[in-house]
Structures are given as C-alpha cells and as structure tokens.
Amino acid sequence: MDSPLPQELRYDGLWWRKFAALGSTYGPEWWKRTSPAVIGAACFAMIATNRRGALANMRRVMGDTGANPRATALRMFVEFAYCLSETLERFGPRPLPVRVDLPEHDPIRESINAGRGAVVVTGHFGNWDIAALELLRYERPTHVVMAHEQNRSTNPYLEQMRAHRGLHVVYSDRSVLTSLELLHALRRNEIVALQIDRLATSDTAREVDMFGSPVRLPSGPFELARLSGAPLVPVFAPRLGSRHYRIHLGRPWGLKRAASAEEIQRCIAGVAGEMEEMVRCHPDQWFQFEPFWIADMQTQSQAAPNLAPKAGWRSRSFARLPYARREVAMRSRTVSRRRSRSS
C-alpha cells in the first residue's frame, strides 16, 4: 500500500529536504559534522526497501573479497547523508569553501577548445552535484540530464536550486524532442551531463557485464556522442573528507558517425569498466539503492509475485503500488520480454 502521508511529508519529500537544507546552511559546525552519520544510520535502519537494494548491490560488488556487504551498505547511507548535506550547503545562501582536487590532464577542456562540446557521463557516485558545478568553469552552457525524483514534490525545489547556480536541468522523460535539443546543444560546443547507472528498460539499452554479471545500460549518451562528434568522458567525484572531493576524468571515448553496433558496444563496455573501477575503489560512495543487476531484479520480482497481476501491469492494483516496487516489476517484465524475443 502507498504511504498515507502526503508526498511532501515522506522521508524523501519536500519538507524534509528543506529541513535538511536549513541544518546544512545555518546549523553549527558540530551539527554539520556529526548529524549526517546519525541520520544516515537511522535511514538504513528504517527504510527497508532501500536497505535491501543497497545490500543486494554490495553483495555483487564485494564478491568474495571477504568484506562485509552490510557494513558497506551502512557506510553508503552515511556517505550519502554527508554528500547531501554538503551539496545543500554549497548550493545554499551561505556556502563554505569546498576543496576540489582537479586532474592534470583535462580532455573536456581540450574538446571545448576544439569546438566539439562534450558528453559527460557519470553515475550516482560521490557528489555528482559538486562535479556538475565544476563543469561551469569551462564557461559553456551546461545541461544536466536526469530523471524526475521518485518523490515528485522535490523536483521544482531541486531544479531551482541547480538553476540558481547556472546549471540547466533537462528531464530525460520530459519530451520526445529532448534528445534533439541535446544534440543541438553539443553542436553549439556546449556540455551535456548524464547519469548512466539506472537499469535501462528500453529496447535500445545494451547489456554489459559489471563485476562479472550482466546489467543493462542506456545507449542514449553513446548515440549523442556518435551523432554529434563530441567525445564521451566519464567523470566521478569521490568524497575524500569533510568538504573535500577529487574530480576523476576518465579517458575520452570517441565514436564516429558511422560507428558499427560492435564499436558502440565496446564503448559502452569500456565506460562500464571505468565506473566499475571507481565503485571498486569507493564502494560506499555508489549511491544505488535499488537492485541494479538483472538477476537481482528478477529475484526481487519473483519474491513478490503480486507485483504484476494477470490483468497486466497497467491495472489499477499495479498503479497503487509504491514507485520503487512498480519499477522492479516493469524492469523485470521488460527484460523477460526481450529475452523471450531473442530465444
């Protein structure tokens, strides 16, 4: 059943986000340094759906290393709380200095100087908002592409927060013309930033391996790079300490307009490999709270068979399910249909 609370009052809703922003902006320093750990641990204990998703992902990441997936998942919640707190402070009216270590080699600058624009890809890793602010130093319009928040009450607030700092937010599910707009932006030597670690369900998604098991990643960012001629650059911003981040720029991946399906697949697998390496180094900073691997999603869906009634997933009973559970059911059905067609 859906929560009886209005969206604004849920744990991921607007009013809690505003409350967090007040504490991050006006709270004393001791509060800013200690409260995220307590809040993150409390969320780990109370939000069972996100905890199960994080645990499933950490089991894949940890593998046979001997590390404790549960302890890593707990640290993930805590690190997310710190990143969120420092983001709200940085975007607020009283930002404190943030130390950002920059790499020596900068393929984005080289591409901008050449007039080619840049497709920046990242994941829900580290502090992607701090990384997005760093893109503004190239003095080119920056378009940040993202899906709507699961709790829609926070979207206008977060969009305004980012726009106030000069970031143009583009919602990936806003319009069928979004891709065309982004293509024109790249041809104007602008920057387009996208996250690729949502398990894609469209027929254009590509299956690659991460940590030895298949996942499905969106092909849209790679098609933008192919059609525009802009290089595709992985960017990650791991948190090293209080208000201290490092910008990691991966290798620039170029795709010719006539690139074959095999060349695109190699590019996607290469970018996935770079993201895997970052997650391997900082597993508690990959803020993926839903099952990410295909097999884990299918397992979760089978554990809750009533998620997809025989009348079809568009039935009224399905529509009343919480958002995260609807996502699991839809993704599992898409993967199953695709595999059935290929068999």
Do 209 and 85 lie in one domain? The reply is no
pTM for the whole structure: 0.83
Angle of CA points 342, 262, 214, to nearest 5°: 55
Domain membership of residue 180 (yes or no) is yes
Do 113 and 240 lie in one domain? The reply is yes
Residues 235 and 274: their CA atoms lie apart, in Å, by 10
Beta carbons of 196 and 233 less than 8 angstroms apart: no
Do 80 and 105 lie in one domain? The reply is no
> 59 — phi, psi (to 5°)?
-60, -40
Radius of gyration of the chain measured on its C-alpha atoms: 20
pLDDT at 254: 94
Which of 47, 64, 91 is the last residue before a domain boundary?
91
Do 105 and 251 lie in one domain? The reply is yes
pLDDT at 310: 38
Q: Which domain range does residue 33 map to?
A: 7-91
Domain membership of residue 291 (yes or no) is no
Domain membership of residue 292 (yes or no) is no
Residues 16 and 147: their CA atoms lie apart, in Å, by 20
Beta carbons of 285 and 79 less than 8 angstroms apart: yes
**244-246 vs 168-171, strand pairing mode:** unpaired
Placement of tokens 């302890």 in the chain: 71
Domain membership of residue 293 (yes or no) is no
Do 137 and 247 lie in one domain? The reply is yes
Query: 301 Cβ partners below 8 Å, 6+ apart?
Result: 307, 308, 328, 329, 332
Do 186 and 315 lie in one domain? The reply is no
Query: How many structural domains are present in the chain?
Result: 3
Do 148 and 227 lie in one domain? The reply is yes
Do 120 and 236 lie in one domain? The reply is yes
> 93 — phi, psi (to 5°)?
-75, -10
SS3 of residue 250 by DSSP:
coil
Domain membership of residue 298 (yes or no) is no
> 27 — phi, psi (to 5°)?
-70, 155
343 residues of the chain, pLDDT tens digit each: 445 567 776 777 778 888 899 999 999 999 999 999 999 999 999 999 999 999 999 999 998 888 899 999 999 999 999 999 999 999 999 999 999 999 999 999 999 999 999 999 999 999 999 999 999 999 999 999 887 777 777 888 888 889 889 999 888 766 556 788 999 999 999 999 999 987 666 667 899 999 999 999 999 999 999 999 999 999 999 999 999 999 999 999 999 999 999 999 999 999 999 999 999 999 999 999 999 998 887 666 555 444 333 333 333 332 333 434 444 444 445 444 444 444 4
Do 275 and 151 lie in one domain? The reply is yes
Domain membership of residue 290 (yes or no) is no
Domain membership of residue 202 (yes or no) is yes
Do 129 and 28 lie in one domain? The reply is no
Residues 235 and 178: their CA atoms lie apart, in Å, by 22
Do 179 and 138 lie in one domain? The reply is yes
Domain membership of residue 110 (yes or no) is yes
Do 256 and 136 lie in one domain? The reply is yes
